[in-house]
A and B are shown apart, each in its own frame.
Chain A
Amino acid sequence: MNEIMYPTKSGKTLAKALLAAIIIAVIVFVTIILPSEYDIDPTGVGGALGLTVLAQHEEPVEVEAALEVEVTEAHTDPQSDTVEIVVPAGRGVEYKFKMEQFADIQYEWKTNGPALYFDFHGEPEGDTTGYFKSFTIATSSEMSGSMTVPFAGSHGWYWKNTTAEDVVVTLKTEGHYEVTGFPHK
């Protein structure tokens, strides 16, 4: 099999070609590629051309979105409520709040003694499939915390009383929401 023959350049041409290739590569690499890819900018050219932003991986879109939420929230004062909920013996009760996406709620509840099984969860607005997302499932006589809800919809607690006595839950809330109360009543 015959190999393909190329025109063979003179040693001088070869040396020039190789040198030119290396010099161009190094110049482009140092001034453009390094700043763009790795935010390494020894010459300052990349920064001057605005290329270094390419290698900085923050996502400005998300930052803006978060700022917007803060701003809109700052315009409305949080409301606060306290409610006593009776969970009848052997029954379960839900208490809900209507909330916008990324709205916040601070909560604190405790029972008059016995621990209750509960499910702190949210149901997306307009959902008809019965889907819900649980944030916390546990058995406790008290709980406090805060939540920024991931989607708009109905958020709140389901408590189940397996004891023979009625249990009273005292729930204190503060945040941006609308009280729905007992959704099934």
Chain B
Amino acid sequence: MSFNLKWILGGLSFVIAYALAYSAMAHGVDDSTQSFLLSNQGTAIIPFLYIGAKHMVTGYDHLLFLVGVLFFLFRNRDVLIYVSLFTLGHSLTLLLGVWYEFQVNAYLIDAIIGLSIVYKGFDNLGGFKRLLGFQPSTKLAVLIFGLFHGFGLATKLQEFELGGEGLFQNLLAFNVGVELGQFFALAFVLILLSYWRRYPSYLNFSTISNTALMSAGFMLTLLQLTGYFTS
């Protein structure tokens, strides 16, 4: 029992601590990155690669969503399919959003991203199947929420005057960086999840894990909505 308790606490504190640890960087771009982005002129492939990767590795909102997506994916093939759908979704809106200068409020987008985590946690409990009587397509959901996550990424870049010079190259570099960061972070998430999966506690506590996920999603949504209403 005490072993199981360890896992509950471990799982809960992992999700919540992760959400809180980085919350100081409310919008995911720290001061030094900000000063680089503001002063940068022209093409800078490697710096934008790095910023993209860093944004993803420290982007608890994107990662929590992926934890939710991967929670019940036990086969590598499924992991690949779902992660590809997520990548397709967020790359599309990231590239088009910045290129065509779609103006979306960053707080509202991040609030929706918070809700995407809630959605996935609820979905993992079979909530939508219970409520609606059928399982809404999980692939479609990942793709659609991927689109919102991409808009979130786009707003991070749009906070800065990126100028015309080298925009396309910088944008691509940022996007590739995002994927590299996602790959890196996913590797850690998968290692942790597959280690936990070897124990019965994984399934026994899937309800608690996904409740914690929903709770973290609600926190992020509340955080961003407060930002929206106070700014």
Bound complex: CA of A14 vs CA of B20, how far in Å?
A: 25
* Residue among A3, A5, A6 making CB contact with B125, cutoff 8 Å: A6
Asked if B127 and A38 make an inter-chain contact with CB atoms under 8 angstroms apart, the answer reads no
User: 21 pairs across A/B with beta carbons < 8 Å?
Assistant: A3-B137, A4-B78, A6-B72, A9-B127, A9-B207, A14-B125, A18-B211, A20-B211, A21-B121, A21-B212, A21-B214, A25-B215, A25-B219, A25-B222, A28-B215, A28-B219, A29-B218, A33-B219, A33-B222, A37-B23, A38-B227
- Min CB gap A18→B, angstroms: 7
Asked if B137 and A28 make an inter-chain contact with CB atoms under 8 angstroms apart, the answer reads no
Encoded as 1 (CB less than 8 Å from any A CB) or 0, chain B from 174 to 211 comes to 00000000000000000000000000000100110011
Asked if B129 and A8 make an inter-chain contact with CB atoms under 8 angstroms apart, the answer reads yes
Task: Please classify the interface of chain B as helix (H, G, I), strand (E, B), loop, or mixed, using the class held by over half of its residues.
Answer: helix
* Residue among B131, B137, B218 making CB contact with A21, cutoff 8 Å: B218
Across-interface contacts of A38 in B (CB, < 8 A): 226-227, 230
Across-interface contacts of A1 in B (CB, < 8 A): 139
Q: Does B138 contact A (CB under 8 A)?
A: yes
Q: Which residues of B contact A (CB under 8 A)?
A: 16, 20, 23-24, 26, 72-73, 78, 118, 121-127, 129-131, 135, 137-139, 203, 206-207, 210-212, 214-219, 222-223, 226-227, 230
Across-interface contacts of A21 in B (CB, < 8 A): 118, 121, 211-212, 214-215, 217-218
Asked if A6 and B126 make an inter-chain contact with CB atoms under 8 angstroms apart, the answer reads yes
Q: Does A45 contact B (CB under 8 A)?
A: no
Q: Tell me the residues in window 37-88 of chain A with beta carbons closer than 8 Å to chain B beta carbons.
A: 37-38, 40, 54
Across-interface contacts of B214 in A (CB, < 8 A): 17-18, 21, 25
Bound complex: CA of A20 vs CA of B8, how far in Å?
A: 15
Q: Does A164 contact B (CB under 8 A)?
A: no
| Closest B residue by C-beta to A22 | B218
Asked if A5 and B135 make an inter-chain contact with CB atoms under 8 angstroms apart, the answer reads yes
* Residue among B121, B137, B207, B219 making CB contact with A13, cutoff 8 Å: B207
Bound complex: CA of A129 vs CA of B131, how far in Å?
A: 75
- Min CB gap B220→A, angstroms: 9
Across-interface contacts of B203 in A (CB, < 8 A): 7
Bound complex: CA of A26 vs CA of B226, how far in Å?
A: 12
Asked if B118 and A9 make an inter-chain contact with CB atoms under 8 angstroms apart, the answer reads no
Bound complex: CA of A26 vs CA of B127, how far in Å?
A: 21
Bound complex: CA of A28 vs CA of B218, how far in Å?
A: 10
- Min CB gap B181→A, angstroms: 24
Asked if A17 and B207 make an inter-chain contact with CB atoms under 8 angstroms apart, the answer reads yes
Bound complex: CA of A3 vs CA of B135, how far in Å?
A: 9
Across-interface contacts of A10 in B (CB, < 8 A): 130
Asked if B126 and A7 make an inter-chain contact with CB atoms under 8 angstroms apart, the answer reads yes
| Closest A residue by C-beta to B16 | A28
| Closest A residue by C-beta to B218 | A25
Bound complex: CA of A8 vs CA of B118, how far in Å?
A: 16
Across-interface contacts of A6 in B (CB, < 8 A): 72, 123-126, 129, 135
New A-B pairs, 8, CB < 8 Å, besides A21-B118, A26-B218: A8-B125, A9-B127, A14-B130, A14-B131, A21-B121, A21-B218, A24-B215, A38-B230
Asked if A32 and B20 make an inter-chain contact with CB atoms under 8 angstroms apart, the answer reads yes
* Residue among A20, A24, A37 making CB contact with B226, cutoff 8 Å: A37
